Amino acid sequence: MEDLIKRIESIFKVLKKERGKRDNLWIIEVEKDSLHAVLSYLKDNESFKHLALVSCVDWIENNKFQLSYILWSYQKRQNLIVKIFIDRDKPEFKTVLNLFPQAEIYEREIRELYGVSFEGNPTQNEDFVLEDWEEMPPMRRDFDTLKYSQEKYGDRDSEVQKTNIRKIISDFTDEWRRK
């Protein structure tokens, strides 16, 4: 798999590379302008024909969104994650529909849950799992779900019997060990 990374490095600028938890899983970070070229190269020349997932991570400390494109090669049986960072204040990117048609539904999901819009995706504004959502996208980390839930759905006004379950379990196991 190192050969593959070297071949990619010889053509494109790879900002960061690291091995994943398995031998056949590597993660590379590229510049966002060269992502389409990298994906196209991997698809046509390196047999990474299967886009398994497009996912998004909210790095609120760095004011960035991370987009990860997880690729799989059937011939080599290898995973490659290509990741880019986009600006959090301006969450826009271009679609990869022309390379992988299955990206349509992933991009629609990210659009709804993170608010990242993908230029060129025709169905990105349709409802995915939420209907009539008016707040900020719910998977962003500055969205307070507990506050929203209590305001919108209410809470049961009754005494909650608070028990420390961890303590009960640890007491129980201690007792059990002593026997």
CB of 138 to other proteins, least distance (A): 5
d(CA 160, CA 63): 39
Looking at residues 97 to 156 of the shown chain, list those that interact with other proteins (rule: CB under 8 A).
Answer: 129-132, 134-135, 138, 143, 145-146, 148-149, 152-156
CB of 113 to other proteins, least distance (A): 10
**Size of site (CB under 8 A) for other proteins:** 17
d(CA 81, CA 66): 12
d(CA 43, CA 33): 17
d(CA 150, CA 166): 26
CB of 159 to other proteins, least distance (A): 12
Query: Could you give the angle at which helices 2-11 and 35-45 cross, rounded to 10 degrees?
Result: 130
Per-residue mark of binding to other proteins, 155-174 (x: CB under 8 A): xx------------------
Nearer to other proteins, 75 or 163 (CB): 163
Pairing status of strand 14-19 against strand 78-87: unpaired
d(CA 148, CA 157): 17
Q: Is 75 in the site for other proteins (CB under 8 A)?
A: no
CB of 7 to other proteins, least distance (A): 44
CB of 155 to other proteins, least distance (A): 6
Residues 6+ apart with CB under 8 A from 127: 112, 133
**Closest by CA position to 43, among listed 68, 69, 14:** 69
Looking at residues 50 to 69 of the shown chain, list those that interact with other proteins (rule: CB under 8 A).
Answer: none
Per-residue mark of binding to other proteins, 8-27 (x: CB under 8 A): --------------------
Q: Which residues bind other proteins (CB under 8 A)?
A: 129-132, 134-135, 138, 143, 145-146, 148-149, 152-156
